[in-house]
């Protein structure tokens, strides 16, 4: 009986592991949900391999989103339109399905201005027009941010023309304190913990917060490259679930002490760990005798906070037009994709046509 010859075994194709999801963030208290999702194992719980990358500021995040070094990022909401319209470079196909927080910002002035009698925007106007011939320099983290809108709103409330009577520079959040201490700027608008850091250092005080200027305004988004979401829809859905669970955890007051401890022990927050408590635990010390409850400064979760709604888009675009950053009358189609969050969380989507994938942007200024 002839021997049975087995057919030769063909080599199995190598199993290609998917690369980790790369998410960028800046050193701000409102990026906390990303750290929480990592430290509590929420990314892993939802089957994700995530690499978090701390970036110096929004210019770095913009570049890395634009050139595909990041899949998603914690970012100021106006950056969405900055990239979609290609306001200062080539357009980039991005969108958001999720707002990570509301509020959380403050206007901080130097104690030097306070010694000169400034207690309000109106006092600053009097100083500028009677005793200070030079244009004072203030800073924001980006022109394409709610910080810029809030600083302009505060200046205008005192009758100051933000385009003619002061200079507004752009600095990374982490450079605000040192720039104020060194006298390079006379004030800034930023997210926490940098306002509290200035107050605790005795070099700054806060005449206004998000709550007094634009209560519960939309702040940071989970900015996402469309190519990533379209290529890896399951991973994108898992990312939305993990971030939403982390935001819920951050919102719960009973978790705030543990949140402060978690961030304080994390390597990237150690240099500012003492300044984390005011905004997350409260009260937020304005440095002038006024205090603000944590719940009135920074919110992470709630139906009106996280949903990517048309109302939020309209508000953001109106602020950009008012600040002369944009002349567009309408947002590009598909900037917000709330149906992806509804699908990820298992919430039935409302009956409506699917958003068009083609985006058109009218010419900016």
pLDDT at residue number 88: 83
Can you give the residue range of the structural domain that contains 141?
Answer: 105-213
b/e sequence 194-222, b meaning 16+ C-beta within 10 Å: bbbbbbbeebbbbbbbbbbbbeebbbbbb
pLDDT at residue number 6: 52
- 225 and 337 co-located in one domain: yes
- 118 and 187 co-located in one domain: yes
Q: Are 92 and 83 in contact (CB under 8 A)?
A: yes
- CB atoms near residue 101 (< 10 Å): 27
Q: What is the DSSP string of 108-174?
A: EEEHHHHHTT--SHHHHHHHHHHT--SPEEEEES-SSSHHHHHHHHHHHHTT--TTTTEEEEE--GG
| Domain end position, chosen among 213, 229, 264 | 213
Global pTM reads 0.89
Q: Report the number of distinct structural domains present in the chain.
A: 2
- 180 and 285 co-located in one domain: no
| Domain end position, chosen among 213, 246, 269 | 213
- CB atoms near residue 3 (< 10 Å): 5
Q: Which tokens hold the place of 125?
A: 């106007």
Could you give the CA distance from residue 295 to residue 255 in angstroms, rounded to a whole number?
Answer: 13
Low pLDDT (below 50) residues in the chain = 4, 13-16, 349-365
- 178 and 256 co-located in one domain: no
Kind of pairing between the strands at 72-76 and 21-26: parallel
- 204 forms beta bridges with 110
pLDDT at residue number 250: 98
pLDDT at residue number 270: 85
pLDDT tens sequence across 40-75: 999 999 999 999 999 999 999 999 999 999 999 999
| Domain end position, chosen among 213, 230, 250 | 213
- 240 and 308 co-located in one domain: yes
- 50 and 168 co-located in one domain: no
Is 187 inside any structural domain? yes
10 Å CB burial of residue 133 (0-12, 13-18, 19+) is exposed
- 113 and 92 co-located in one domain: no
Instruction: For CA atoms 134, 154, 319, 197, give the dihedral sign.
Output: positive
- 53 and 126 co-located in one domain: no
**Tokens 């598909």, residue?**
334
- 118 and 85 co-located in one domain: no
89 in helix, strand or coil? coil
CATH of the domain at 209: 3.40.190.10
Q: What is the separation, in whole angstroms, between the first and last Cα of the chain? A: 87
- 34 and 92 co-located in one domain: yes
pLDDT at residue number 5: 53
Is 362 inside any structural domain? no
Is 357 inside any structural domain? no
Is 163 inside any structural domain? yes
Q: Supply φ then ψ for residue 9, to 5 degrees.
A: -80, 130
- 97 and 245 co-located in one domain: yes
- 192 and 235 co-located in one domain: no
Is 352 inside any structural domain? no
Kind of pairing between the strands at 105-110 and 187-191: antiparallel
């Amino acid at each position: 009986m002839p021997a049975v010859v087995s057919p030769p075994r063909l080599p199995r194709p190598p199993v290609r592991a998917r690369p980790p999801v790369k998410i960028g963030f800046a050193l701000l208290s409102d990026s906390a949900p990303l750290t929480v999702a990592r430290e509590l194992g929420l990314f892993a719980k939802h089957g994700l391999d995530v690499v978090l990358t701390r970036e110096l500021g929004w210019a770095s995040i913009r570049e890395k989103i634009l050139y595909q070094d990041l899949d998603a990022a914690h970012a100021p909401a106006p950056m969405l339109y900055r990239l979609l319209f290609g306001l200062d470079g080539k357009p980039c196909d991005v969108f958001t399905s999720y707002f990570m927080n509301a509020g959380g910002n403050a206007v901080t002035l130097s104690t030097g201005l306070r010694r000169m009698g400034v207690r309000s925007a109106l006092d600053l106007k009097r100083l500028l027009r009677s005793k200070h011939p030079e244009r004072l320099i203030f800073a924001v983290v980006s022109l394409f941010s709610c910080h810029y809108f809030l600083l302009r709103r505060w200046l205008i409330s005192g009758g100051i023309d933000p385009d003619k009577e002061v200079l507004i520079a752009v600095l990374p959040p982490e450079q605000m304190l040192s720039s104020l201490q060194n006298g390079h700027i006379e004030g800034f608008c930023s997210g926490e913990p940098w306002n509290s850091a200035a107050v605790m250092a005795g070099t700054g005080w806060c005449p206004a917060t998000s709550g007094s200027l634009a209560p519960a305004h939309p702040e940071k988004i989970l900015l996402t490259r469309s190519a990533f979401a379209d290529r890896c829809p399951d991973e994108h859905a898992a990312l939305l679930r993990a971030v939403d669970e982390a935001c819920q955890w951050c919102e719960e007051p009973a978790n705030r002490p543990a949140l402060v401890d978690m961030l304080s022990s994390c390597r990237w927050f150690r240099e500012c760990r003492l300044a984390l408590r005011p905004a997350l635990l409260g009260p937020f010390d304005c440095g002038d005798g006024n205090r603000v409850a944590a719940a009135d400064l920074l919110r992470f979760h709630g139906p009106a906070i996280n949903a990517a709604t048309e109302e939020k888009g309209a508000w953001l675009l109106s602020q950009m037009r008012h600040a002369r950053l944009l002349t567009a009358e309408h947002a590009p189609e598909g900037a917000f994709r709330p149906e992806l969050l509804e699908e990820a969380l298992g919430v039935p989507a409302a009956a409506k046509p699917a958003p068009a994938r083609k985006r058109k942007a009218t010419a900016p200024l």
